[in-house]
Amino acid sequence: MKDCRILVVEDDRSVMHLITTSLKLNDYEYLTASYGKEAVSLCASQHPDIILLDLGLADMDGIEVIRTVRLWSDVPIIVISARHEDSDKIEALDTGADDYLTKPFSVDELMARIRAAARRRTHMHQAESENSVFTNGCLTIRYAEAAVFVNDRQIHLTPIEYRILCMLAKNCGKVLTHSYMISEIWGTGVETDIISLRVYMTSLRKKLSAGTDESMIRTHTSIGYQMIRL
């Protein structure tokens, strides 16, 4: 078995069967839950490495499951839901989900999302022991010095650009919504600040593009931004 145990929270038997069969074929260990309270209990007692979560559960909404789990755990949560509106995705991501996949979904894409979450988990654990330096491809951030390097060459960032980059790096692999980023950077939830955020993101990408792949920072239209682990 791969060194990754996955909790699958789904009340549709056919979808549950599809997911668990796919996990088994890919040598993942897994646990299952059909109810939200059961999922919270398993998360607390079994400490899964990744959670695959449906939002439409019978006993409690998946958003409440996320909110409850986030009281004590930073386990990666991938939402798999039939809710496809941007507002649903934003609510789940703002509450603490790491990723969002809409039904019907491709099994190959689901496996790719799981691998990405597993990589993020691994790098988070590494960062706990080496939390003074972050590396991703040819990008290096030395937090103690507040210094950023691309291909071992230091680049200058404004204070806000540096805060944005650190926020993305410390949440590498996770989609950060516009509202979350704006709140963290400026302490407001003003919609017009999205324009300012886009301006800073454009400038930051230009500076990083001196030697790093611009696709490192992915834009999720109408939702937010995500740093990709290279």
Last residue in a domain, options 96, 123, 150: 123
- Give me Rg for the CA atoms of the chain: 18
pLDDT at 94 over 70: yes
154 in the same domain as 116: no
138 in the same domain as 115: no
Beta bridge partners of 2: none
137 in the same domain as 118: no
Cβ pair 214, 157 in contact under 8 A: no
166 in the same domain as 204: yes
Dihedrals phi, psi of 100, to nearest 5 degrees: -145, 125
Q: What is the DSSP letter of 59?
A: S
83 in the same domain as 114: yes
Last residue in a domain, options 92, 123, 154: 123
100 in the same domain as 26: yes
We report the CATH number of the domain holding residue 212 as 1.10.10.10
137 in the same domain as 114: no
166 in the same domain as 70: no
117 in the same domain as 136: no
Give the pLDDT confidence score for residue 126 in this predicted structure: 61
Give the pLDDT confidence score for residue 160 in this predicted structure: 83
CA dist 204 and 198 (Å) reads 10
**Reduced to 3 DSSP states, what percent helix, strand and coil does the chain have, rounded to the nearest 5?**
45, 20, 35
CB atoms within 10 A of CB 111: 15
Give the pLDDT confidence score for residue 16 in this predicted structure: 97
Range of the structural domain that residue 14 is part of: 5-123
Cβ pair 40, 62 in contact under 8 A: no
Q: For residue 52, give the H/E element and its range.
A: strand 50-53
Number of domains in the chain: 2
pLDDT per residue as tens digits for the range 15-50:
999 999 999 999 999 999 999 999 999 999 999 999
119 in the same domain as 10: yes
102 in the same domain as 18: yes
Cβ pair 132, 107 in contact under 8 A: no
Please give the C-alpha separations between residue 88 and each of 17, 59, 95, 102, 109, in angstroms, as whole numbers. Answer: 25, 19, 11, 11, 20
